[in-house]
Amino acid sequence: MKNILLLGFLAISLSSFSQCEIRNRLFPDGTMIYFMEPVVFYWTKVKELKGNVITDKENYFIGLQPVPFPEKQQGKKLKEDIELKLSNNKVYRLGHYDTQYLVNDSIMQLLYLVDKKDLEDLLNFEATEVKIDMKGDEGIRTYIFKLHKTALQEQLACFLKEEEDKGK
């Protein structure tokens, strides 16, 4: 019985630890960002949405990777804010920060700045829905989170815990 409990605890610990694997990337201008691997929030044969929390240690961003996405020329025009709904049924407006094309332009990532006053709610409530204005004929694309609803909470908690641990 002890072995089963020990294995269960170890499995939970390892799964929690893997969620907190923080990576970093240095940009040519000297800016360092910290991030975790994006997770899938929504998936069908036609549409997909991945996302993650990103920080420069001063600000927090939500990175979203919608599929399909427009070609680079059109995608760079996507500069609208998004509406992120959390499980407390409040809708938060996150300001557009940047549109990036990654991995030889095979991934488009939209970055949105999280207002510091909204960090506590993002930490305490799971994400349930996001609306992204894709412009053109499509207009607003609504993604209702079906998978990994707590991923943004967990990733934000990892970043905040790391900062707290370094402050000790």
pLDDT at 137: 82
pLDDT in tens, 79-131: 999 999 999 999 999 999 999 999 888 999 999 999 999 999 999 999 999 99
Quick one: pLDDT at residue 168?
A: 65
The pLDDT of residue 132: 97
pLDDT for residue 155 is more than 80:
yes
CATH of the domain at 115: 2.60.40
Is 73 a domain residue? Answer: yes
Indicate whether 143 pLDDT > 70. yes
- Does residue 68 lie within any of the structural domains? yes
CA–CA gap between residue 15 and residue 41 (Å, rounded): 18
Q: Using the predicted structure, report yes or no on whether residue 14 has a pLDDT greater than 60.
A: no
3-17, 91-105, 145-159: lowest mean pLDDT where? 3-17
Say what the pLDDT of residue 17 is. Answer: 40
Q: Is residue 26 part of a domain?
A: no
Say if 112 falls within a structural domain.
Answer: yes
In a domain, 131, yes or no: yes
Residue 7 has pLDDT above 70, yes or no: no
Give a yes or no: residue 71 inside a domain.
yes
Number of domains present in the structure of the chain:
1
Longest Cα–Cα distance in the chain: 60
Angle at alpha carbon of residue 161, lines to 30 and 13, rounded to 5°: 115
SS3 assignment for 24-50: EEECCCCCEEEECCCEEEEECCCCEEE
User: In whole numbers, what is the pLDDT of the chain averaged over residues?
Assistant: 88
Task: Look at 145 and 163; give whichever has higher pLDDT.
Answer: 145
Q: Is residue 58 domain-resident? A: yes
pLDDT score of 1? 46
Tally of CB atoms within 10 A around 67: 13
Domain housing 86: 37-167
Residue 129 lies in a domain: yes
Instruction: Quickly state the pLDDT bin for 19 (edges 50, 70, 90).
Output: low
